[in-house]
Amino acid sequence: MELMNKTVGEILCVQAIQHPENEAYVYPERHLRKTYAEFDKETDHLAKAFMGIGIQKGEHVAIWSDNKPQWLLSQFATGKMGAVLVTVNTNYQAAELKYLLQQSEATTLILDEGFKGTSYLEILRSICPSQRESDGGHIHCPALPNLKRVILMTEKNEAGIYNWSEFLKHAEMVLDEELEQRKQTLHPDDVINIQYTSGTTGFPKGVMLTHNNVVNNGNMIAETMKLTENDRLCIPVPFFHCFGCVLGTLAAVTHGATMVIVEQFDAAGVLRAVQDEKCTALHGVPTMFIAELNHPDFKTYDTSNLRTGIMAGSTCPIEVMKQVIEEMGAAEITICYGLTEASPVISQTKTDDPIEKRVSTVGKPHPHVEVKIIDPATGDELPIGDSGELCTRGYHVMKGYYNNPEATREAIDSEGWLHTGDIARLDEDGYLDITGRMKDMVIRGGENIYPREVEEFLYTYPGVSDVQVVGVPDERYGEELMAWVIPKEGAKLDEDEIRAFCKGAISHHKIPRYIEFTNEYPMTASGKIQKFKLREMSEEKAIHS
């Protein structure tokens, strides 16, 4: 499979010519449907509006909302006129937003009024109290000296902020020829997107991704899923994360498929969209699939059109994977593995891989992607079957971290290898198995334990809906294991019975000393479990037990 040499805008143009009447996107709850021809026209108009308010090629435009139509349109419109889209986590509060806008040097902020009870407008006012004295869409904010313009996704009138209609009128100031001239200046190696890592550890870093990074990754993902213009992909994962805007929107658009978009995850809403829109593909992190499968009305929804999709974002429990295949009917569901710094997908299972490979590995590396497993201590490449740090090289590796050359040098070595920080091994057939994060590994009495192995075993215990295992300090052994178990609805679980289940089945040192029951885990907005918070909670529990 050849690499594409196209910009984000160009791939949409191609589909508008090849499949003009095919539905590009559907918002079921809004009764909103647009063809590829309409989508292409809308994003041209929006690109002209961005130019009309003075945004130059290379300027940073931050966007802060859930999966609204304006988010989707902005992704492709900025891709057409050369601005860099900076994605903002929907869960951010004042300090996090201020950090991101300062660090990214964003000149423009597009935002919704709020999200899940948090007022984005109030947060912006708290950072920029002088907003009320600002004129039109031009803002003066001493705390954010780079910020010049704010655009609201609704029609609400706010001092210092364009509402959406006011903003769109600026498209009339730009001729079609001017937009075409701007498009001609763009290069596929230009940075088009800055994605902030989810911050499961330390301050988020701004990952710079190019057209070539994300267009080719989206294309490879879609090819591996065997997507065509006849597929309908349900996207309930957030756009601000690569899962939404690369594995979701770009994978669909590279192949002319229809995007069926759920603005905020809700298990019943997803199942309804899959049924009513006859979706053939569904994306989600494991916790989303677990919520859908465990929904009390699951069996009343028709998911028979499902064929494929992606489960990714965190470790995919084997038992959940089997249920998605057998009970949802997604017989060709795939697993992806990667990280934002790799655009994000490094490896993926194929639709026709043997079931054993699809539930126990993260597939083979994509075409044009190199991988190697190294000894983290020496940097030496390890033989097949040995566990070590996974490194990768190829078109998919980020340009670097924005304004952070030191962190970039730590992540990408002098030969272009991106060091992932993940522990993995390659089997003799070329499939990758991720056994954990280097920092998640638990060392108990000199024995290395990878939490995922213990989690996979505990998933097989009846009544367990989800489980996460972390290490806690221990005076005698250095570290001990604590398992956090979410029981299935109505299940009564007993920690001693779970330990008895482990005895004789897994090594003694892998049996969790502590078992806690919970209803939920601390999560990032993109659905990743924050293990560092679980570790903090575990240490508190262990101290008092």
Could you report the per-residue pLDDT of 200-224, keeping only the tens digit for each? Answer: 445 789 999 999 999 999 999 999 9
* DSSP letter assigned to residue 325: I
Instruction: Compute the average pLDDT of residues 168-182.
Output: 98
Contacts of the segment 134-143: beta carbons below 8 A, 24+ positions apart: 134/159, 134/160, 135/160, 136/160, 136/162, 136/166, 137/53, 137/161, 137/162, 137/166, 137/167, 143/98, 143/102
Q: Is the pLDDT of residue 252 over 60?
A: yes
Q: Is the pLDDT of residue 199 over 70?
A: no
Q: What is the pLDDT of residue 508?
A: 83
User: Tokens standing for 212?
Assistant: 């070539």
Strands, sheet with 464-474, edge to edge from the N-terminal-most edge strand: 464-474, 478-487, 514-517
Could you report the per-residue pLDDT of 470-526, keeping only the tens digit for each? Answer: 999 887 777 899 999 999 999 999 999 999 999 988 878 899 999 999 999 998 877
What are the helix (H) ranges across 82-119?
94-104
Q: Is 318 exposed, middle or buried (0-12, 13-18, 19+ CB in 10 A)?
A: middle
Q: What is the pLDDT of residue 52?
A: 98
User: Alpha-carbon distance 287 to 349, whole Å?
Assistant: 20
Instruction: Compute the average pLDDT of residues 98-119.
Output: 96
Q: What is the pTM of this model?
A: 0.85
Q: Which domains does the chain have, with CATH numbers?
A: 32-196 (3.40.50.12780), 442-543 (3.30.300.30)
User: Alpha-carbon distance 13 to 170, whole Å?
Assistant: 22
Banded model confidence at residue 287, pLDDT cuts 50, 70, 90:
confident
Q: What is the pLDDT of residue 201?
A: 46
Q: What is the pLDDT of residue 198?
A: 57
User: Alpha-carbon distance 25 to 15, whole Å?
Assistant: 13
Share of the chain above pLDDT 90, in %: 78
φ, ψ for residue 544, nearest 5 deg: -95, 5
Picking from 9, 10, 16, the residue whose alpha carbon sits closest to that of residue 37 is 16
Least confident of 82-86, 404-408, 483-487, 504-508: 504-508
Question: Euclidean distance between the first and final Cα of the chain, in Å?
Answer: 56
Q: What is the pLDDT of residue 507?
A: 79
Q: Work out the angle at residue 89's Cα, subtended by the Cα atoms of residues 86 and 92, and round it to the nearest 5 degrees.
A: 120
User: Alpha-carbon distance 284 to 248, whole Å?
Assistant: 10
User: Alpha-carbon distance 141 to 147, whole Å?
Assistant: 7
Q: Is the pLDDT of residue 176 over 70?
A: yes
Q: What is the pLDDT of residue 444?
A: 84
User: Alpha-carbon distance 348 to 363, whole Å?
Assistant: 4
Least confident of 93-97, 465-469, 501-505, 527-531: 527-531
Banded model confidence at residue 46, pLDDT cuts 50, 70, 90:
very high
